Amino acid sequence: MADFEEIYAQYSPQIFRVCMGYINDREQAKDLVQETFISVWKNLPTFRNESKISTWIFRIATNNCLRALERSKRVMTTELPFHLPDQPHEETQEEKLVFLYNCIAELEETDRIIISLVLEDLPQAEIAAIVGLSAVNTRVKIHRVKEKLAIKFKAHGQFE
């Protein structure tokens, strides 16, 4: 089994992005990554290898995100501007990423975690195991979430 430092180095960037997709707050996402890896560190000796270690870590992160959302009792939404500038503005990668996270933040909780895991290139079977859905249901949800995001992107002129 890999040691904790290797696990942290390999998975912490992905876990941060998943938490950002869920919470859409950089500082809170950093805190959730820290909470996740504290749990991993404490429980690593008892990990039974019944699933991939990545599935286990993503599940811990997902549970931490859900608990954080329950504690905050708020729905993260960001409204798009009603008036876009007349002059075309070439968005930077950072602006596109912020827009993506804002769109993800407007999704329902399950959809947020699913698309965050898709963005991390996890196999659908592993996503299904993490979120506790069947493989078929996960595939359908992924398709629907992508459609919702495409509509938001088209409305913002991202696919013109």
CB 37 within 8 A of CB 12: yes
The answer to whether residue 82 scores a pLDDT higher than 80 is: no
4-74+88-155: which CATH topology? Butyryl-CoA Dehydrogenase, subunit A; domain 3 (1.20.140)
What is the average pLDDT value for the chain, to the nearest integer?
83
Per-residue pLDDT, averaged over 3-10, amounts to: 92
| pTM listed for this prediction | 0.62
Model confidence at 11, pLDDT cuts 50, 70, 90, reads very high
| Per-residue confidence (pLDDT) for residue 38, from 0 to 100 | 94
Domain ranges for the chain, please list them.
Answer: 4-74+88-155
Is the pLDDT higher at 90 or at 47? Answer: 47
- Give whole-number Cα distances, 64 to 18, 41, 70, 90, 92, in Å: 11, 15, 10, 36, 31
Mean pLDDT across 69-93: 59
